[in-house]
Structure 1
Amino acid sequence: MTPAIPCTVQLLCRNNAASIGACLDSLGEFAEVIVQDGSSTDGTREIALVHPNVRIIDQNRAYIDASSRITDFASMRNESIAAARHDWLFVVDADEAVTPAQTDEVRSIVQRGIPGVFVASRRFVVDGKVIDRCSGYPAEQIRLFHRSLTHGYVKTVHERLHLKNGVTTQHLQEELLVPLPPASSLPAKHARYLDMEVRRLGVVGMGRWTRWILLRNLRTAAGLLLRIAWIRLTPTRATIMPLRYELPYVAHVLRTIVRTFPPFVAANIRRYGDDAGTKR
C-alpha cells in the first residue's frame, strides 16, 4: 500500500454538501485534511467524517459574523496552519477536486524533502466544460507551501501568504480544476467581499485612493474588457468563458471605485457608524 503523503490539506467550508464529497475523495492519499467548518446545516460535516483522513475544526467565531460568514480569512487560515500535524500544507477549496496527476506531483515535491512555496495555475470549469480562454487567465495562487517559509496569511479579505525574506515561489506543473458556481450567485458574492474590503480600508486619503484604487481599478477593468473582446474576435475552437461570468467581475472592479471613494465612505460612517461597510 502506498504510504500517505505527509502533508496537511487546508479546506474552508460552509454548506458544501453538494461538492465536498468529490473533493475529499480526491484527497484520499493525503495524511491529513483539516476541514474548517462554518456551522454547516446541510450534511457537510457528516459527509466529511466518512473520510478517515479528515479532522474537522469549527471555525473560530471571532472571525465570522452572525450569519456564519467569514469576516477574517487570513486569521481563519492561520488557525489551520497552526493546527496542522505536518509542515507541508496544500490549500484546496471545497468545490475543487485534485487530479491524480497533481496528487503525484505534490507527493514527489514533499518526498524530496526540500521546503518550498508553489503556485498553482487554476483552470475554470463551467457546466462541465474546461474553459481554455478567459480574461482572468493566468489565474494563479499559492496553494502548496512549507510553513517554515512563511509568516502566515495577511489581509482579512483576498488574503495572501506573507513569505519570509528571500523566499521565492515555484510553479506546479499540473493545473487545478476549479468548477464555478452558477453565474447568478456572483453578484451577491462580489458584494459580500466588497463590504469586507470597505470595512478593512476605512476612509483612505484622496491621494492614496486615486493611485491605488481609482487608477489601478480603471486599468484592470480596461484590460479585462480588451481581453474579453480579443478572445471573442480571434477565431478559435477553444472553449471560452461565457460573458455571464466575465462581465459581473468587470462590474465588481468598477463598483469598488465608487464604494471606496473617501467622501462616500466618510458619509456612510457618519450615518451608519460601524455598519457603514454594508450600506450601499
Structure 2
Amino acid sequence: MTNPISPDPAIQCPKLSVYIIAYNEADKIADAIQSAQWADEVLVLDSNSSDDTAKIAQDLGATVKQIPFTTFGKLRNDAIASCSHEWIFSLDADERCTPEAKAEILSILANPTADAYYVPRRNWFMGRWIGYCGWYPDYRQPQLFRKQALIFDDAAEVHEGYKVNGTVGYFKSSIIQIPFQNLEQLLHKMQRYSTLGARKLERNAKPVSMGRALGHGLWAFFRIYVLKLGFLDGWAGFVLALGNFEGTFYRYAKAATAKLSWQPLDNETH
C-alpha cells in the first residue's frame, strides 16, 4: 500500500471522534482501539456484552457507553450522536486502522474535499488475504464523515440503509478487517444475521416459501463463488460462499417459521 502525503504540521486539523460498535468482542476490541488511539476521542458503543469487552475498552482509555441493541441502523445513529467532534471515523470491532489510512485521514482533515468518504477494506480469513468474493475493495457505508453528513435508517436491522447529506469521496489507503478468527465465529454471525434478516422480511411483509429460501440461497452462493470469482480464493472462497448460502436460506426459513406458526408436538397430536 502506498503512503499518502502527510499533512502540513502547521495546519490545524479539526478534531476527530472514532466510534466502535461492539457486542461480545473481547477477543478483538483491544486491537481495534489500539489502532485508533491517535484520534482525539475513541468511543466504544457496547450493547451490554456478557464478556470483558467493556472492561478491556475502559482499561485502554476508551469512553464506553452502553446502548441496548434494537437495530444496527439505530445503533449507528446513537453512536454518531454520542460523538463530540465534527468529524467522525467509524471502525467496527473486527477492523484495524492502518498507518496508511491514518495518514490519509489526517491529510483529508487538513483539507477536506468531500463530506463523507468510503474506505476500502482488506479482509484476512483462513490464513490469506481475500482478493475476490466481492470482498475487495469491500466498501461498506462511508466511514469518515462530517457529523451531520450521514444518517442511518433506524428500522434497518442489518446491512444498514443510510443517506449522505453532501458530497462523497474515496480513500486510496485500506483498513484491515478480520471478520472471523475461526469458523465458529462465522457460524455464530450467520445465525445472528439470519435472525435479523428474517425480522426484516417479516417487517416488509415479503413472501416466504421453501422455493424462495432455496432459490435465494443458491443465488447467493453462485454470485459469490462464480460471478465474484470466489473460487480463486481457494478454501476461504468456498467457505464464504457456502456461508452466504446458509445465511440467506435460514433467513427465509426463520421468517417462514414465524409466519406459519408451526406448533411443537403435544400429547394431543400423538
TM-score (norm 2): 0.77
Shift of 1:243: 2.5
Matched residue, 2:3: none
The one of 15, 38, 57 aligned to 1:29: 38
Shift of 1:8: 1.0
Shift of 1:222: 2.7
1:126-176 per-position Cα deviation (integer Å, ceiling 9, x unaligned): 255322333544421121111222334441222232223xx3432111112
Distance 2:153 2:109 in 1: 21
Matched residue, 2:199: 199
Shift of 1:202: 1.6
Q: Contact (CA 8 Å) 2:213, 2:253: kept in 1 or not?
A: no
Distance 2:37 2:13 in 1: 8
Across the aligned residues of Structure 1 and Structure 2, the Cα RMSD in angstroms comes to: 3.2
Q: Contact (CA 8 Å) 1:221, 1:254: kept in 2 or not?
A: no
Which deviates the most, 20-29 or 127-136?
127-136
1:29-81 per-position Cα deviation (integer Å, ceiling 9, x unaligned): 110111112333543333222334x211112x3xxxxxxxx331111221121
Matched residue, 1:276: none
The one of 28, 31, 34 aligned to 1:19: 28
Matched residue, 1:55: 63
Matched residue, 1:266: 259
1:112 aligned partner, one-letter code: N
Does the C-alpha gap of structure 1 residues 215 and 131 become closer, same or farther in structure 2, counting only changes over 3 Å?
A: closer
Aligned length: 248
Matched residue, 1:278: none
Structure with the bigger percentage of strand: 1
1:253 and 2:261 correspond: no
Matched residue, 1:131: 130
- Percent of aligned pairs sharing the same letter: 22
Distance 2:114 2:134 in 1: 33
1:237-271 per-position Cα deviation (integer Å, ceiling 9, x unaligned): x887353333112222233344445xx54312x85
The one of 23, 45, 52 aligned to 2:54: 45
Does the C-alpha gap of structure 1 residues 163 and 91 become closer, same or farther in structure 2, counting only changes over 3 Å?
A: same
1:161 and 2:170 correspond: no
Distance 1:265 1:43 in 2: 33
Does the C-alpha gap of structure 1 residues 217 and 116 become closer, same or farther in structure 2, counting only changes over 3 Å?
A: farther
Matched residue, 1:170: 169
Does the C-alpha gap of structure 1 residues 219 and 247 become closer, same or farther in structure 2, counting only changes over 3 Å?
A: closer
5+ residue gaps, structure 2, are 1-8, 265-270
Q: Contact (CA 8 Å) 2:119, 2:175: kept in 1 or not?
A: yes
Q: Contact (CA 8 Å) 2:117, 2:168: kept in 1 or not?
A: yes
Distance 2:13 2:30 in 1: 19
Structure with the bigger percentage of helix: 1
Q: Secondary structure at the match of 1:202?
A: helix
2:259 aligned partner, one-letter code: A
Distance 1:257 1:43 in 2: 33
Distance 2:125 2:225 in 1: 20
1:241 and 2:241 correspond: no
Q: Contact (CA 8 Å) 2:218, 2:245: kept in 1 or not?
A: no
Distance 1:256 1:149 in 2: 32
Does the C-alpha gap of structure 1 residues 198 and 150 become closer, same or farther in structure 2, counting only changes over 3 Å?
A: same
Q: Contact (CA 8 Å) 1:133, 1:241: kept in 2 or not?
A: no
Does the C-alpha gap of structure 1 residues 240 and 191 become closer, same or farther in structure 2, counting only changes over 3 Å?
A: closer
Q: Contact (CA 8 Å) 2:87, 2:147: kept in 1 or not?
A: yes
5+ residue gaps, structure 1, are 62-69, 273-280
2:222 aligned partner, one-letter code: A
2:65 aligned partner, one-letter code: I
